[in-house]
Amino acid sequence: MKPLTDCRLYAFVDSAYLHGRTPADLTQQLCDGGADLIQLRAKDWPEEKIRQTAETLLPITRAAGIHLVVNDHWQLACDLGAEICHLGQEDYFESSEERQAASHQPTLGLSTHAPEQAIRAMATNAAYLAIGPIFPTPTKLGRPGVTLDYVRWAAANVVRPWFAIGGITLENVDSVLEAGARRICVVSAILNAPDVARACQQFHKHLASVPLQKS
């Protein structure tokens, strides 16, 4: 699989944006479009449904050489042997004993919403950080955008791979890249597109316009 340091486009299979499509079909389209990471995010699903869905997605992502990220459910990611688990800071800092007891240890990703949270996250073993939400987004209702100032701060201070996230579209992605981001997470702008694979390819074209500095 591609090393995390080389990953630039982080895509999602989000239960809120299936629009009648199956998670497996969406995953294949994301793989075909060149997504480097794919997160299964299902805030409104019971854990057993997430487990069953992840079991169907792992063969697809592994055949494509793409990491599957399980959102929120650390023990589930351990049980499935998923490559990566993404947690919010509260989830991470409040359940460390359970993670230490797990036999399989997925790679960890952490959300951050401000510089002080990023600094705290950099003191952990998280392999990457999510920086955002940059712009207001339906996936984080009620949370204001942290603005491009946080992207500029991250570009100057975060010393491991990080992904800008939140409200990123083809119309504003260049401003995010100009602020210093080299890796991005995109949810609705890809999943709401009429052609998911092509949307991934379009974001990759923008990413290719800026050099990747491996942090």
pLDDT digits (tens, 9 = 90+) for 135-166: 987 666 556 678 999 999 999 999 999 999 99
The residues carrying an active-site annotation are 41, 111, 140
Is the CB of residue 65 less than 8 Å from the CB of residue 36? no
Range of lowest pLDDT (71-75, 89-93, 208-212): 89-93
CB 35 within 8 A of CB 66: yes
Q: Which pLDDT band holds residue 98 (cuts at 50, 70, 90)?
A: low
Q: Which residues contact 25 (CB under 8 A, 6 or more apart)?
A: none
Q: Are 164 and 181 in contact (CB under 8 A)?
A: yes
Expressed in angstroms, the distance from the first to the final Cα of the chain is 18
Q: Which pLDDT does position 143 carry in this prediction?
A: 65
pLDDT, tens only, 7-58: 999 999 999 999 999 999 999 999 999 999 999 999 999 999 999 999 999 9
Superfamily of domain 4-207: Aldolase class I (3.20.20.70)
Predicted structure pTM score: 0.94
Q: How far apart are CA 46 and CA 49, in angstroms?
A: 6
Alpha-carbon distance values, 142 to 69, 122, 135, 139, 201 (Å) = 25, 26, 12, 9, 30
Confidence at residue 99, expressed as pLDDT on a 0 to 100 scale: 61
Q: Report pLDDT digits (tens) over 13-23.
A: 999 999 999 99
Give the rounded percent of residues in the chain with a pLDDT score beyond 90: 84
pLDDT at 211: 87
pLDDT band at 128 (very low <50, low <70, confident <90, very high): very high
**Strand 184-185 to strand 67-71: parallel, antiparallel, or no bridges (unpaired)?**
unpaired
Domains of the chain by residue range: 4-207
How far is residue 93's CA from residue 127's CA, in Å, rounded to a whole number? 15
3-state secondary structure string across 123-151: CCCCCEEEECCCCCCHHHCCCCCCHHHHH
